């Protein structure tokens, strides 16, 4: 990797090379070690980042706020319903003004066909880097934390069988940004990726095409199945998570016919003997997953969640 990452946008991992991501993860591990050893890391002393949220958050907000504090800086949390955005102020004006007040802007906007466009419009006019805290298409913060977690457990990701599986949930219609990010990222690290979902809940066609290209380029594989048990069979990593039919050709699909798409002890028995269960959280317990699985020995959801802190700190440290 040549040059610096200072000022680089963190909107999608498609704009970050593997060497840049590798460096980011290396820095994350260094920060994680220092966190456990109580070694101060005042690398961003007196720097300010603005955290704009159009939706609720637990892990993302707190990993960013705690992270910048541990790096010696300060976060301004902004509930956009209390900003002039709620009265129609443009992304351009918001980006220009906030970037003149501090050193970076991070934003969560998951509104379908609006969120990513909003982030890019801010980036076009901001003098400081824009970070994506989840939009309608991408969740790069979750993507790098997931990759770090998998690498911590398995070291070598080549030929690792990873299944991204739709799961039934009764909560709100969830974005496609987490599975979409994973589908594009994991094949770049030589993983054998299976994307499983009931017919009618597909990701955009361009995502599938790009995932297959990434697999071909980096020595991984990418396949789609509508057979849930096939996705679990022999998998080293399973990530059963709900997503909505935002990009589906049948947007009004009745998901209640797929209640059997649930992570249970029975389907986990089909996986590799050393397999792990992952989830970005919050999980819809009892629908997406049985308590005995998410609370069981194969689950590493809390390690995965904790890594959100260390990777967030790395993103801020490298780009601000």
* Whether residue 32 sits in one domain with residue 125: yes
72-129 pLDDT tens trace: 999 999 999 999 999 999 999 999 999 999 999 999 999 999 999 999 999 999 999 9
142 Cβ partners below 8 Å, 6+ apart? 134, 177, 178, 181, 280, 308
What is the per-residue pLDDT across 52-64, written as a single tens digit (0 to 9) for each? 999 999 999 999 9
How far apart CA 263 and CA 287 sit, in angstroms, is 8
Q: Is pLDDT of 2 > 70?
A: no
Are residues 27 and 75 located together in one domain of the fold?
Answer: yes
Task: Answer yes or no: is 28 within a domain.
Answer: yes
Cβ–Cβ under 8 Å, residues 45 and 73: yes
> In whole angstroms, how large is the CA radius of gyration of the chain?
19
Residue at 6 is within a domain: no
Same-domain status, 208 and 287: yes
Predicted confidence (pLDDT) per residue in 208-266, tens digit: 999 999 999 999 999 999 999 999 999 999 999 999 999 888 878 899 999 999 999 99
Do 238 and 209 belong to one domain?
yes
Which pLDDT score is estimated for 173? 83
In a domain, 260, yes or no: yes
pTM: predicted TM-score of the whole model, two decimal places: 0.97
Checking if the pLDDT of 31 tops 70, the result is yes
DSSP state string for the chain: --S--TT--BS-GGGS-HHHHHHHHHHHHHHHHHHHTT----TTTT-EEEEEESS--SHHHHHHHHHHHHTT-EEEEEEGGGSGGGGT--HHHHHHHHHHHSSEEEEEE--TTTHHHHHHHHHHH-SS-EEEEEESS--HHHHHHHHHHHHHHHS--TT-EEEEEE----SS---SHHHHHHHHHGGGGT-EEEEE--TT-PPPHHHHHHHHHHHHHHT-EEEEES-HHHHHTT-SEEEEE----TT-SSTT--GGGGTT--B-HHHHTTS-TT-EE---S---BTTTB-HHHHTSTTB-HHHHHHHHHHHHHHHHHHH-
Domain presence at residue 2: no
126-135, 165-174, 253-262, 309-318: least confident range: 165-174
- Residue 182: CATH number of its domain: 3.40.50.1370
Q: Does some domain include residue 40?
A: yes
Residue 186 has pLDDT above 70, yes or no: yes
Residue 1 domain-assigned (yes or no): no
Residue 250 confidence (pLDDT) = 82
Q: Is the pLDDT of residue 278 over 90?
A: yes
Higher per-residue confidence, 228 vs 172: 228
Please tell me whether residues 122 and 236 are part of one structural domain: no
Q: Domain check: are 130 and 148 in the same one?
A: no
Q: What is the average pLDDT value for the chain, to the nearest integer? A: 96
pLDDT at 80: 94
**Whether residues 22 and 147 fall in one domain:** no
pLDDT at 256: 93
Let me know whether 239 and 111 are in one domain: no
Strand partners, 108: 53
pLDDT at 147: 98
Does residue 3 surpass a pLDDT of 90?
A: no
What's the pLDDT band for 312 if we cut at 50, 70, 90? very high
Any domain includes 179? yes
pLDDT for 237 equals 98
Residues 29 and 112 in one domain: yes
Both 160 and 112 in one domain: the answer is no
Segments forming the whole domain that contains residue 69: 13-139+308-319
Query: How far apart are the C-alpha atoms of 143 and 13, rounded to whole Å?
Result: 8
Query: Is residue 101 situated within a structural domain?
Result: yes
Residue 69: predicted pLDDT: 98
Tell me, yes or no, whether 135 and 267 share the same domain.
no
Contact predicate 222/183, CB 8 Å = yes
Return the closest-CA partner of residue 18 out of 185, 238, 198.
Answer: 185
φ/ψ bin of 254: left (φ > 0), alpha (ψ from -120 to 50), beta (otherwise): beta
At 161 the pLDDT is 98
Pair 155, 130 in one domain:
no
- In the chain, how many domains are there? 2
pLDDT of residue 249: 81
């Amino acid at each position: 990797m040549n040059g610096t990452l200072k000022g680089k946008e963190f909107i999608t991992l498609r704009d970050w090379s593997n060497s840049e991501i590798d460096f980011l993860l290396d820095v994350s591990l260094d920060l994680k070690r220092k966190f456990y050893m109580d070694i101060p890391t005042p690398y961003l002393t007196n720097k300010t980042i603005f955290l704009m949220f159009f939706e609720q958050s637990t892990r993302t907000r707190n990993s960013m706020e705690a992270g910048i504090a541990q790096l010696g800086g300060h976060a301004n949390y902004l509930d956009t319903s209390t900003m002039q955005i709620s009265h129609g102020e443009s992304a351009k004006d918001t980006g220009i003004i906030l970037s003149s007040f501090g050193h970076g802007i991070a934003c969560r906007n998951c509104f379908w066909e609006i969120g990513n466009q909003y982030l890019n419009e801010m980036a076009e006019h901001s003098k400081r880097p824009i970070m994506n805290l989840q939009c309608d298409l991408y969740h790069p913060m979750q993507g790098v934390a997931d990759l770090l977690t998998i690498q911590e457990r398995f070291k070598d990701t080549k030929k690792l069988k990873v299944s991204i599986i739709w799961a039934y949930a009764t909560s709100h219609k969830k974005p496609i940004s987490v599975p979409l990010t994973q589908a594009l990222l994991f094949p770049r690290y030589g993983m054998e990726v299976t994307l499983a979902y009931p017919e009618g809940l597909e990701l955009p066609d361009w995502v599938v095409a790009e995932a297959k290209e990434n697999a071909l380029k980096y020595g991984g594989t990418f396949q789609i199945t509508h057979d849930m048990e096939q996705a679990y069979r022999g998998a080293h990593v399973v990530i059963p998570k709900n997503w909505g039919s935002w990009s589906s050709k049948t947007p009004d699909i009745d998901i209640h016919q797929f209640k059997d798409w649930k992570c249970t002890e029975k389907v986990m028995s089909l996986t590799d003997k050393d397999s792990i269960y992952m989830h970005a959280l919050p999980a819809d317990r009892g629908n997406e997953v049985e308590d005995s699985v998410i609370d069981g020995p194969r689950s590493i959801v809390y390690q995965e969640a904790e890594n959100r802190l260390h990777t967030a700190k790395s993103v801020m440290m490298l780009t601000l």
